[in-house]
Amino acid sequence: MTKKEQDRIRRILIILKKRYLDAECALTHEDPLQLLIATILSAQCTDSRVNQVTPRLFKRYPSSYELAEADLSELENLIRSTGFFRNKAKSIKGTCQLLVSRFKGKVPHSMEDLLALPGVARKTANVVLGSAFGIPSGVVVDTHVFRLSHRLGLTRARTPEKVEQDLMRKVPQEEWINFSHRLIFHGRQVCTARKPRCHECSLSEACPKVGVNEG
């Protein structure tokens, strides 16, 4: 990476920090378990929808022990509106059974242990490690981060896994957690999928606008 590119990325990080200083995980949670379950539910679903579902879910099943013993059909009904509810219910119950049998009901704070849980891939593990434990294990690549990383010219990769690898090489590790939160906020508020508002974007001068039709 050239010094010019390093300087450009540094400007992007500074601008994002100034614009979204208080950006944080949009999934409402009170502890690591709630965040883990909410993140599993967020697959192919909006955070706002998940946040509507989880209060009732956690009131009914307040710990991993209750979720491990949950009636699957009741669990499915509680999370139905998040989509793919059958698979998600199986993942949640299976995850909590493993938490109970291997981790005394607690959410582990290592990538290896998290990836052993049903329904947990690297993105979910990164969310939990970053937002619940403050561990910068990687960069969360959701649809917003994927889209903006390409528009900003930070990657040409075609899979979230490879995009994450590119971002981890270019963004300092101490910025990984906040970088994801801030880019997600920017993707929701300004650099939207259908019609990015480049004319009012604070990153405009540092952005090559890859694939963006400004006309």
The one-character DSSP state at 204 is G
The pLDDT of residue 214: 58
Which entry of 47, 88, 93, 142 is annotated as an active-site residue? 142
**Is 113 annotated as catalytic?**
no
Digit-coded pLDDT (tens) for 144-163: 999 999 999 999 999 999 99
The pLDDT of residue 1: 86
d(CA 37, CA 63): 11
Digit-coded pLDDT (tens) for 181-202: 999 999 999 999 999 999 999 9
**27-49: average pLDDT:** 96
Q: If 0-12 CB within 10 Å is exposed, 13-18 middle and 19+ buried, where does residue 7 land?
A: exposed
CA angle 176–112–123, rounded 5-degree value: 45
**118-137: average pLDDT:** 96
Which entry of 59, 93, 123, 209 is annotated as an active-site residue? 123
Is residue 7 classed as helix, strand or coil in its secondary structure?
helix
**Is 123 annotated as catalytic?**
yes
Strand ranges (DSSP E) for 26-165? none
Q: Which domains does the chain have, with CATH numbers?
A: 3-23+139-206 (1.10.1670.10), 32-133 (1.10.340.30)
The pLDDT of residue 213: 76
pLDDT at 215 over 60: no
